[in-house]
Chains A and B, each alone.
Chain A
Amino acid sequence: MHHSHSSSTSALSLADLPGPDVAIRPLHHPWRWISGGLVILLLAVIGRAFAVGQIQWTVVGEFLTAGVIITGFGWTLLISACALVLGVLLGFAFGIMRLSENPILRFAAWLYVWVFRGTPVLLQLLIWFNIALVFPRLYIPGLIDARMVDVVTPFVAAVLGLGVNEGSYLTEVVRGGISSVDKGQKEAAHTLGMTPGQTMRRIILPQTLRLILPVLGNSAIGMLKFSSLAATIAMGEMLNAAQRIYFINGAVIELLFVCAVWYLAGTTVLSIGQYYLERHFGRDGAAATRERRWFKGWARRPVAPGEA
């Protein structure tokens, strides 16, 4: 017979198999507990450090709802929204131009991306803010004739600086999105008799928009934070407001923490919105989601210098 467990201690013979009700003890993961415990400890240490540190938490609470801060946060939201809209408009305009049949339009779009993606956004903000040094008057015959300093207020400079810069990133995103809509659909639209404009508006762009929605969500979150750079050009947004307060009362870290709380609140709300927006647009089947995931990866991939 095959009853020979004496030959090997590891072999389990059929005769020794337990019944179906045998107790099952899953593998324990002690390191998960240990590493988790370590992280909790670390967080507790950091938390305690801040609790006993030189921070007057009452001041943080007091200024969290101060009128100046709330007004500043309102400006932060307004700058971010306007700059994002401007960026999206420019991104679509130049993204479409990048794929134009006309080489001069293609070159212009390339130039735009090259200049505005290739220089720091802070520098661009300062240049917009000081644009009056180059062009003292803004004169468009029959439309406008004014001193540049009156036109380009800190708010306008902030929106232009952030929006034009964002547009240069979104140009590449839109170009990628348009390219990834399969060419066959464009041909199909043409054989139905749709003009290039109709094809772009009704077939290509709606699908592009879906593809780039996650990227736009990231842009919105990024914009909310980048708007703090406008503090350097005397725009009275939240960070600038906080600075003006702590120059007087000296509660530097307290007011910076107030800002951190509001920025986090803003980005959290945007993240939640992005989640639902993506879920809403992801309803027509798994294929679209796959493409989108792929595209997300693409959009985050650093672009080679030659492509810029």
Chain B
Amino acid sequence: MTLAVKAVGIRKSFGSHEVLKGLDLEVAYGEVLCILGPSGSGKSTFLRCINHLETPNGGYVWVDGAIMGYELSRGALEGLPVKRLRAQQSQLGMVFQHFNLFAHRTVLGNVIEGPMVVRGLSRAEAEARAMGLLEQVGMAAKASSYPSQLSGGQKQRVAIARALAMEPRVMLFDEPTSALDPELVGEVLEVMRNLARGGTTMIVVTHEIGFAREVADRVVVMIDGEIREMGVPTHVLSNPGDPRVRSFLSRVLA
């Protein structure tokens, strides 16, 4: 088992409100980890700390041999220039709750943007690879549409293809189906299921307990900025030791 991500003592406060109270987490290559928890428990913030969209106030994240945003020098963490941080961030594919597609670019334009600008691929090469990815998420037919012409489920599938285009080591999903109409949730989960089957390392913040039970290798339950339960889904979901986790699960499973 090779580690892909190791978060150490992550703390984050917004003003006087402490959102994350020193979280540790390890994710291995090929593993699918689902983070569950009631809203306001800090699970999205934790995910955003892992890829440094939020800078943690304490602790650090190690990804594939390097510490995010810092360099270890004489026993201290020295901040990295923004360009090197961005290079690290591009190793973690991110899928957002609200898709965040580039509104002025077509579907294809969204997917080739990163490879062309950041990786320096030629347009032809980027487009060829992008079409392959769009095929994979079932959006190749819409390659020349603009985001405003797509349904939520279609947008999210394009967003997944866009993140995959950077060939990230790990894919992060921040409540990828929470903004979707109920009948559109299935098509996005299907794409994610296929990714998991293909061996993609995934950290998924979600409310979809069914998906976690079926696809996750491990689940984490967060409550009030702390990890209360961690383990294989069958164990955590059916037999949680922590009473607050039990009460949370009984509410969402009801």
Residues of chain A at the chain B interface (Cβ within 8 Å): 182, 184-185, 187-196, 198, 202-203, 206-207, 210, 284-288
B188 at the interface (CB under 8 A from A): no
Residues in B neighbouring A182, C-beta threshold 8 A: 100, 103
Tell me whether A191 and B117 are in contact in the complex, defined as CB-CB below 8 angstroms, given that A284-B146, A286-B148 are known contacts: no
B104/A207 in contact, CB under 8 A:
yes
B-side residues, CB < 8 A to A, are 51, 53, 82-83, 86-87, 89-90, 92-94, 96, 98-104, 113-114, 117-118, 146, 148-149, 159, 162-163, 166
A193 and B87 within 8 A (CB): yes
Task: Given A184-B98, A185-B103, A196-B82, check contact A191 B53 (CB 8 Å).
Answer: yes
Is A193 a contact partner of B166 (Cβ separation < 8 A)? Answer: yes
Contacts beyond the supplied A188-B101, A191-B53, A193-B118: 4 A-B pairs with Cβ under 8 Å: A192-B163, A195-B83, A284-B103, A287-B148
- Residue on B nearest A285 in the bound complex, by CB: B148
Alpha-carbon distance A184/B159, docked complex (angstroms)? 12
From A187, A194, A198, A288, B103 is in contact (CB under 8 Å) with A288
- Most chain-A CB neighbours within 10 Å: which of B83, B99, B114, B117? B117
In the complex, the answer to whether A194 meets B100 with C-beta atoms within 8 Å is no
- CB B44 to nearest CB in A, in angstroms, measures 12
- Shortest CB-to-CB span from A255 to chain B, Å, is 47
A198 touches B53 (CB 8 A): no
Contact, CB under 8 Å: B89 / A190 = yes
B166 contact from A192, A206, A210, Cβ within 8 A:
A192
Question: Could you tell me the distance between the alpha carbons of A192 and B100 in the complex, rounded to whole angstroms?
Answer: 12
Given A193-B90, A210-B104, A202:B117 Cβ within 8 A? yes
Contact B90 A185 (CB under 8 A): no
Residue of A nearest to B146 (CB): A284
Of all chain B residues, the one with the shortest Cβ separation from A203 is: B102
Please measure, in the bound complex, the distance between the C-alpha atom of A207 and the C-alpha atom of B159, giving whole angstroms.
19
Q: Is the CB of A195 within 8 A of B82?
A: yes
Could you tell me if B103 and A287 are in contact, using CB atoms closer than 8 angstroms?
yes
Closest 7 pairs (CB-CB, A-B): A193-B90, A184-B100, A285-B148, A192-B114, A191-B94, A287-B148, A188-B100
Distance between A266 CB and nearest chain B CB, rounded to angstroms: 31
C-alpha gap A182/B104 in the complex (Å): 12
Instruction: State which of B101, B104, B163 has its C-beta within 8 Å of the C-beta of A191.
Output: B163
Contact of A195 with B86 at beta-carbon distance under 8 Å, contacts A187-B53, A188-B102 already known? yes
Contact (Cβ within 8 A) A194 B114? yes
Q: In the bound complex, do residue A206 and residue B100 qualify as a contact, i.e. CB atoms below 8 Å apart?
A: no
Bound form: Cα–Cα A193–B86 in Å: 4
* A182 vs B103: C-alpha distance when bound (angstroms): 9
- Cβ-defined contact, A188 with B94, below 8 A: yes
